């Protein structure tokens, strides 16, 4: 994987400790955190960083296509450093958001383009259900 700082530079974004910390945190998690969650996770290592900076950074990264924003139907956005379009599975019981490998739906964009008059640029696919963990706990 390319150095995160390098990726920022290529998009003409100045490399600041705050941006690196946020980008790195997002790159190393599978949790799809919200702005608030990111802010709290970095509180100990970056105690002076403000929530506004988190929002501004997420906006910059999003516009640079270095991260993507998720809308799973909550009151806030979540963020994902995997920018390649892929479906997400959301557990309605524990609210966990899990990545799904996009290969299983590889052909659907093509199908949509064929059956609509839109030029498709992007897609967001969310499946809601019960995750394996929660299924198990319900059985007990």
Q: Are strands 88-91 and 78-80 parallel, antiparallel or unpaired?
A: unpaired
Going from the C-alpha of 69 to that of each of 14, 35, 47, 88, 123, the distances in angstroms are 21, 11, 25, 12, 12
Tokens of 134: 């929660």
Residues 41-80 touching DNA, rule: CB under 7 A, are 46, 48-53, 55-57, 59-60, 75-77
Cα–Cα distance, 21 to 125 (Å, whole number):
28
Nearest distance in Å: CB 73, DNA: 11
Among 36, 43, 99, 136, binds DNA (CB under 7 A): 36
Residue 119: contacted member of DNA, a copy of itself, none (CB under 5 to 8 Å, by partner type): a copy of itself
Q: Which CB atom, from 8 or from 90, has the smaller least distance to a copy of itself?
A: 90
Binding site for a copy of itself (CB under 8 A): 69, 71-73, 87, 89, 91-92, 98, 100-101, 104-105, 108-109, 111-112, 115-132, 135
Tokens of 15: 């490399």
């Amino acid at each position: 994987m390319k150095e995160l700082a390098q990726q920022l530079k290529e998009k003409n974004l100045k490399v600041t400790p705050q941006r690196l910390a946020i980008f790195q945190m997002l790159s190393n998690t599978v949790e799809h955190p919200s702005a608030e969650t990111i802010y709290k996770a970095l509180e100990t290592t970056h105690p002076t960083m403000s929530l506004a900076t988190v929002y501004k950074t997420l906006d910059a990264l999003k516009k640079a296509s270095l991260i993507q924003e998720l809308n799973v139907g909550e009151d806030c956005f979540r963020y994902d450093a995997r920018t390649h379009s892929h479906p997400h599975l959301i557990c309605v019981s524990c609210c966990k958001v899990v990545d799904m490998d996009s290969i299983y739906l590889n052909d659907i964009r093509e199908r949509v383009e064929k059956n609509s008059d839109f030029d498709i640029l992007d897609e967001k696919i969310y499946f809601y259900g019960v995750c394996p963990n929660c299924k198990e706990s319900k059985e007990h």
